[in-house]
Amino acid sequence: MHHAIRHTALTMAAAAALGLAGAAAAGAYPEQPVRLIVAYPAGGAVDGAARILAERLGAVWDQPVIVENRPGASGRIGVALAAKSPPSYTLVAVTNSTINEQLGRETAGAPSSAASLLPVSTLFTTPVALLVNRQAVPADTLAQYVAMARDKPGAISFGSSGEGTTTHFFGELLKRDKQIDITHVPFAGEGPNLTGLLGGHVGSAFLSASGATKAAQTGKTQVLAVTTPGGSPLLPGVPSFAQLGVAGLDRDTWVGLYAPAGTPQPVLDRVAQAVSEALSSPAVRERYAQLGLIAEGGSPQDLARRMEDDRQYWTQAVQRTGISLR
């Protein structure tokens, strides 16, 4: 009898402990500071958006959200660090180009840290624009840019945020569509890419609307075209590549939040809800718009669907350009 009572008590205690753990995961989270890894350099669009979000989440959660920049290898260093981190209290902000590059490596039989990350929520979307340094490439329109590139094959360079990134693919797609020879110069993130354009180290560059907005403020650049098919309110008056008859450059880039494998689903849902609420705030949306970004949000399932749709698009881009992701 005594043994039966003790067994029942232990069973009830275990059940209570599991219940409390589930409640803590779903409701009391977070109970300690949260680390938000940005897989790119400070000063870029991802960094700015992450810091705005961290400030908002920290205030709501009453726990610090610590942003940590870990750039390098087109985002792979930050992704690898996040994948090795303990679950639940680490997040990582990653562009779709990094995720697609990593999953492409996995498909090709190479190691991929991104394969073990769990989707949480979409942070933002942003168009990508082609800009020129006015002094290096005095083109006012895409047609003039193409004509100059044909006149002097290989003389015009275009900067990207790194090998295998969205901005790299767009340059290669433009080369093939217009049959021009422009030279790719990869940088370690958008911040260095923007600096390279403004300094004349490259004659042109593919940048997010955030980078394009910063560049336009200097008066040194001209925006030629944007990837949003119908044009973007973030870059008013700029024609789209689709409107100018260029095929394939009709996909905006996006940034997702991910968590290490082993993070419980209730925690993923809790974080996604908090992120969505933060990004729906008019004040946050305005701050994002000032950076050239469209705040998004959504559930882990929404991000998973976005990833699948994006992967199909970029699989076709890989086939068209021949860029190796291995």
Which among 49, 46, 50, 39 is positioned nearest to 80, based on CA atoms? 39
Domains and CATH numbers, the chain: 34-125+252-321 (3.40.190.150), 127-244 (3.40.190.10)
Number of Cβ within 10 Å of residue 266's Cβ equals 17
Asked which of 102-106, 173-177, 185-189, 250-254 is least confident by mean pLDDT, the reply is 102-106
pLDDT at 102: 53
Distance from C-alpha of 277 to C-alpha of 191, rounded to nearest angstrom: 28
Task: Give the integer Cα–Cα distance in Å for 40 and 291.
Answer: 16
| DSSP-assigned letters across all residues of 223-264 | EEEESSTT--TTSTTPPBTTTTT-SS----EEEEEEE-TT--
Q: What is the mean pLDDT of residues 247-256?
A: 89
pLDDT computed for residue 152 by the predictor:
96
282 has which bridge partners?
Answer: none
State the Cα–Cα distance between residues 159 and 167, nearest whole angstrom: 8
The DSSP annotation for 87-130 comes to SSSEEEEEEHHHHHHHHHHHHTTS--SGGG-EEEEEEEEE-EEE
d(CA 256, CA 37): 12
Q: What is the pLDDT of residue 98?
A: 78
Using 50, 70 and 90 to split pLDDT, how confident is the model at 14?
very low
Rounded CA gap, 234 and 213, in Å? 8
Q: What is the pLDDT of residue 113?
A: 58
pTM (whole model) above 0.85: no
